[in-house]
Every structure is written in C-alpha cells, then in structure tokens.
C-alpha cells in the first residue's frame, strides 16, 4: 500500500523539560524533580507523529548550525522524514522551548524560535514540489506569518488540502488565512483568544467554531482535551468524544492529534473517522512523558486503528 504523503511547514525546537511539584508563581524559584531534553517545535512534532504512523512526510523548516540543529536533523532522519527542505543557518541558534510540567501533567511553555524566524519565502517556493506531491499540508504559527501564508497559498494553488493549527495563538489573524485553511484546528484556549467567546460547553464551543467558519475556514476541528474534539462545518456539528485516561504529561498532545489527523486524512479516511483515530492516539501520548518521546509508533498501537 502506498504511504500517505504529508508536507509539514513549521518550526523545529529543542524542548528543555523540567518536572516540578507545581508551576511557579511570578518571581518564584522552585526545585524541580527531574529534567530532560527532547525534540519539539509544533511543526516538527506534527511531522514526527505522522511519520511514526507510517506517513511519507516532508518537513520544511530551518535549524541553527549548532548541536541542537544537528541532533534535530538526525532525529528527522531516524524517523524517516524527508529532509530535502530542512535548511541550516549560522545567523541564529536553533529554536528552544523551556517547559515546566507539574504533578498533574499541566504545562507552561516559553518558545524562543531562533533559526525558525529566518525561513524565507524563496525557500518555501523551492518546496513547492513537496507541497504539490502531498495529500495534506500542515501549518502552524511558530514561524513568521508571511511564511506560513506563502506555504498555504502554494497548497491552494496546487489543490492540496490544508490543515492550519493556529498555535501558539495570536489575535487578529488575516481573513485570507482562514480562507486558505481547509481545516482550521484550534484548541480551547486558542479558540477563546481568536473569538472572544467561551467554550465551556459543547454549545458554546459550536458557536465559537461557527464564528471561525464564518471567517472563511472550510471546516473547524476544535480540540477539547479530555472531551475529545468537535467538528463544525456547513453540514452541522459533530462531537467526537475521547476515551478517559490518566494523563501523565499533556505536552505535545495537540501535536499528536494534528499529526495523526493529517496522516489519516491523507490515507483517505472520512473526517469524523480520522478525528476519532487521532483522539485515540492523542490519548495514548498523554500517558507517557515528554513530547515526541510520548508519541507512539504504528507498532505500539492497536491494529484496528489502521484497518
């Protein structure tokens, strides 16, 4: 069977993860329980998740000419990601993300994007063949907005389905971005920031999603954490629940969902089916520590996920 093709345009960071009894207050110093480093960046996470499931994944990103960048490149190669459009610069350090994770699995993250900010529109245009060959193109907001927009425009010109994950969230996104998003995939916090509307109940979440739909998105897939996800499109609204699990570390769960969603949609699964499968994989990821290290491979998952 041909492997589904996915192209991810986005950031690559190194996660610097501290496990703490609780998240610190402003100005407070806490002793942590342990520390670990892991590969991250929303784009890289989503690409690695899709690759671990068996996707034929191309990554478009920029790394610093440093130890973090070299290790990230090797990590991409190890999971089988096409690195033809992974660029290296000596003008900035690789992106980093210091993360604090408390005893309940909640997290606080600071992102220093570094080399990611130097990705150029010329480099995006050079990736056009990889974008055109993909079944799904995935973008986020960790690289400069004009670069993300350039990638989405190329995908639209090449008639490739797009998933846009508006993270980390920022208000006042341009209307064109919504129109270029076949699937607009925010979480609860991002939805509230973008719309100014609450999402405490499913009815509230649907109303907020419809306001995003009205801005031009083809469909909205609103992730709701332990409540699963809500699909809202012109046909209506469908809640796809998630199974209850005991979370150890929620870091990267949203990226596990988006990468899995891209994989199953590129495989040809119907939207609600792809969302249900992505929910299951995200639920697996929160039961292990770390970001990419918590992402399961196809071999780790029940066979019915792939039938």
> Distances in Å between the alpha carbon of 232 and those of 3, 168, 185, 199, 240?
28, 21, 11, 13, 11
The pLDDT of residue 1: 63
255 catalytic residue (yes or no): yes
CA end-to-end span of the chain: 12
Name residue, tokens 């949203």.
Answer: 254
The pLDDT of residue 303: 87
Which of 15, 82, 182, 255 is flagged as catalytic? Answer: 255
Q: What is the 3-state secondary structure (H, E, C) of 157-215?
A: HCCCEEEECCCCCCCCCCHHHHHCCCEECCCHHHHHHHHCCCCCCHHHHHHHHHHHHCC
The matching CATH number, chosen from 1.10.760.10, 3.40.50.2300, 3.40.1190.20, 3.40.50.300, for 5-12+42-93+115-306 is 3.40.1190.20
Q: Any idea where the domains of the chain sit in the sequence?
A: 5-12+42-93+115-306
Encode the chain (307 residues) as per-residue pLDDT tens digits.
Answer: 689 999 999 999 998 989 999 998 989 999 999 998 999 999 999 999 999 999 999 999 999 999 999 999 999 999 999 999 999 999 999 999 888 989 988 888 888 999 999 999 999 999 999 999 999 999 999 999 999 999 999 999 999 999 999 998 888 899 999 999 999 999 999 999 999 999 999 999 999 999 999 999 999 999 999 999 999 999 999 999 998 888 887 878 999 999 999 999 999 999 999 999 999 999 999 988 778 989 999 999 988 888 8
Residue 134 is encoded by which pair of tokens? 């993909």
Q: What is the pTM of this model?
A: 0.92
Q: Which helix (H) or strand (E) holds 18?
A: strand 13-19
């Amino acid at each position: 069977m041909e492997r589904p093709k996915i192209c991810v345009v986005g950031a690559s960071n190194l996660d610097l993860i501290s496990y703490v009894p609780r998240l610190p207050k402003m100005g407070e110093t806490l002793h942590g329980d342990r520390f670990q480093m892991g590969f991250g960046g929303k784009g890289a996470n989503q690409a690695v998740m899709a690759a671990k499931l068996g996707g034929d994944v191309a990554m478009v990103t920029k790394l610093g000419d440093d130890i973090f960048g070299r290790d990230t490149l090797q990590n991409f190669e190890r999971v089988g990601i096409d690195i033809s459009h992974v660029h290296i610069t000596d003008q900035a350090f690789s992106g980093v993300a210091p993360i604090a994770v408390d005893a309940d699995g909640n997290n606080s993250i600071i992102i220093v994007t570094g080399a990611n900010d130097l990705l150029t529109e010329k480099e995006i245009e050079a990736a056009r063949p990889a974008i055109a060959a993909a079944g799904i193109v995935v973008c986020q907001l960790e690289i400069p907005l004009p670069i993300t927009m350039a990638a989405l425009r190329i995908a639209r010109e090449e008639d490739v389905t797009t998933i846009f994950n508006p993270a980390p969230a920022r208000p006042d996104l341009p209307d064109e971005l919504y129109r270029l998003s076949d699937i607009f995939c925010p979480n609860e916090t991002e939805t509230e920031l973008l719309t100014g509307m609450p999402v405490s109940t499913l009815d509230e979440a649907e109303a907020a999603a419809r306001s995003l739909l009205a801005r031009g998105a083809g469909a909205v897939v609103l992730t709701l954490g332990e409540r699963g996800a809500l699909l809202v499109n012109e046909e209506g609204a469908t809640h796809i629940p998630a199974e209850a699990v005991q979370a150890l570390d929620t870091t990267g769960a949203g990226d596990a969902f988006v990468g899995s969603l891209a994989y199953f949609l590129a495989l040809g699964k119907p939207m609600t089916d792809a969302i249900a499968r992505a929910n299951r994989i995200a639920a697996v990821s929160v039961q292990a520590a770390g970001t990419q290290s918590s992402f399961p491979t196809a071999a780790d998952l029940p066979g019915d996920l792939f039938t």
